[in-house]
Structure 1
């Protein structure tokens, strides 16, 4: 897979560079009520549930991006009388707060800087002090910074306090472990692209079937009602509304490739190697990472913007784009930054080439070893 300005490699947290086989899976049409599609859809959902621990878990699909699945999860699982505590250390935690407020339901926030993981001790104190909190939501990998939150410790704390946990696993599912047999949670949301390396257009929630059944009638939106969606799937095998058939077909192929690579362990190992090459190469060029290595997830890396008169992010971005690499601007409030992803259908060869291209651009801008802010 070669980089080009016409079709750049996507060094982002999604949409991602996908394999040719995944693209080709979308070249035929499927009837949504046809038994062939229903069977493929069922197999995809069973595989997603198995990736999250399997026993007692069900996968419920949702049209749209991952945020649609997150909003469906929050609306379905949080009852009108409930109160949600959201652990916020980036834009995606903040988005969950906004979602719940728009639903007209009670929410409280444990907020921390974007470069710090969730404070589990502070979470425990808040749960002890407020018995009205019924649910907790946390982002496993917050792509605002690339930080890995201690979801296992959060889960144990929430369970010990007798509350329910909801997880945004969007940027981690499929590459970082999240086993419902070891980590107690009621539901987690993820997406057809990201670490599964399918294409955008389908979110999904993997939930404990018993917990989902108790949510009947709670969702504040017709289309985002996961319990109703699952009930329809059980009865008919079909989505309630028109499914993204081509996206499901691409995901079926992507899951086959995921299994062939060694599942979560194999996919995670490739991403960790991508991340190592990226971080070591960028540091050698003089770029500074935002996060300590101990909390850096191998998904996307945030680099501090160089504090040098010759540096312009717009010029930097465009020069890389012309060389066939697309990166992300920063979303931080704590520091000027940009982000480079480690995921997608990319390996060590592509990551080394990307670092070399960044070195060329830095040299052209007079920043052979740029001084980071």
Structure 2
């Protein structure tokens, strides 16, 4: 056994962030932010080139026709940038929703004046390829399909491969919100066809918040000139400036970029997408097995559980109060996530960040101790919640 853990706890008494991002980062990533950079300086421009090249390398050999455009802001900024830049003003998007982020994308399209139709699967189920095919066959006005790779409001890992096949069989284009999956779950264009995808610095690459990025076919970026509804969220405008000058159009989050490059180096050293995803899967499996042993039930069947975040029903026991459970878990060094479901009370436990299965075993022990302190005799959910899951999954 090693004398030092492979994933030492956060320094300065920080709790682990069991969330879908921001998440617990390595000390080396934090340390990278201690230097100031000039956004116009050659050294920082070299960092931007390095960042873009490293992200494209994660696509594998099928990424030759793609380019990477980093953008200031949170993930939702990048989703809006992708939709506003690549969907024509007279276009129409089929939004595949099974949670908050699909619904947010639909609201974004309404806000920016793009047509859309919504397939809302609720909280429990993924959109399937045959459903996409039927909708596209019935509505020739649809030009694009938007899929959420991992819907973190429920934890569903959506079947983007079959969605892609249905989309292109119908002659339409696929856009993917891979905010919480890219870097841990493969999204290689030679396996899954798409025009563009977006993700964020503070997710599976394990950087800190401050920017996201669009990875798109270069031809799509070139064709997007003049299409955007926004100055700041124009993917083509940002790309054209970077190609010409090497600079971001507007003030970049320099410290966040430096941290992200360190995170990318650590990602590569760990073994890339496959190794990162395998660690997250081990985290999930240890945590889910332990929580089920305590009596908790997952929202989803095993088939749809992502290695990113897992949703649990709140116990039916009247002694269980989520706010108290949250505080007790935080006192023990773990910040969990409230639920975001529309039908039943729930909470979420993230599996991503700078931690391994040994940390997740401690999460389970913290949950056991917290239930005991609250006087919760059983962590079983309300019968109605299980019945609702069974009915919707039928």
1:299 aligned to 302, 308, 321, which one? 308
1:255 aligns with 2:264: yes
How has the CA–CA distance of structure 1 residues 3 and 351 changed in structure 2, closer, same or farther, with 3 Å as cutoff?
farther
Aligned to 2:44: 37
Correspondent of 1:181 among 170, 177, 190: 190
Residue 365 of structure 1 deviates from its aligned partner by 1.6
Normalising by structure 2, report the TM-score: 0.93
Give me the whole-angstrom Cα distance separating, in 2, the residues matched to 1:371 and 1:292. Answer: 16
| Alpha-carbon distance between aligned partners in 2 of 1:58 and 1:147, rounded to the nearest angstrom | 28
* Consecutive unaligned residues in structure 1, runs of 5 or more: none
- The alignment status of 1:358 with 2:367, answered yes or no, reads yes
Could you tell me which runs of 5 or more consecutive residues in structure 2 were left unpaired when the two chains were aligned: 1-7, 383-394
Aligned-partner Cα distance in 2 for 1:274–1:227: 38
Residue 368 of structure 1 deviates from its aligned partner by 5.1
CA apart distance, 1:371: 2.1
**Aligned pair 1:334/2:351, yes or no?**
no
Match of 2:56 among 49, 65, 73: 49
- Deviation at residue 4 of structure 1 after TM alignment: 9.0
Deviations 1:333-362 (A, max 9, x none): 132100000000011121111111111001
Q: Does 1:320 align with 2:347?
A: no
Q: Secondary structure at the match of 1:173?
A: coil
Count residues in correspondence: 373
Aligned to 2:108: 99
Note the 1:64-83 alignment, pairs <5 A. Answer: 64-83=73-92
Q: CA deviation at 1:34?
A: 0.7
Q: Write the distance in 2 (CA, Å) between the matches of 1:112 and 1:301.
A: 18
Deviation readout 1:26-78 (Å, 9 max, x if unpaired): 00001111111111110111111121242111110110111111110000001
Structure 2 residue 68 is the aligned partner of structure 1 residue 59: yes
Separation (CA, whole Å) in 2 of partners of 1:65 and 1:309: 38
Alignment partner of 2:64: what SS?
Answer: coil
SS state at 1:42 partner? helix
Q: Residues of 1 paired with 2:119 and 2:59: CA distance?
A: 26
- Check conservation: 1:74, 1:100, Cα contact below 8 A: yes
Q: TM-score, normalised by structure 1?
A: 0.98
Per the alignment, residue 9 of structure 1 pairs with 16
Aligned residues: CA RMSD: 1.2
* Conserved 8 A contact 1:3-1:325: no
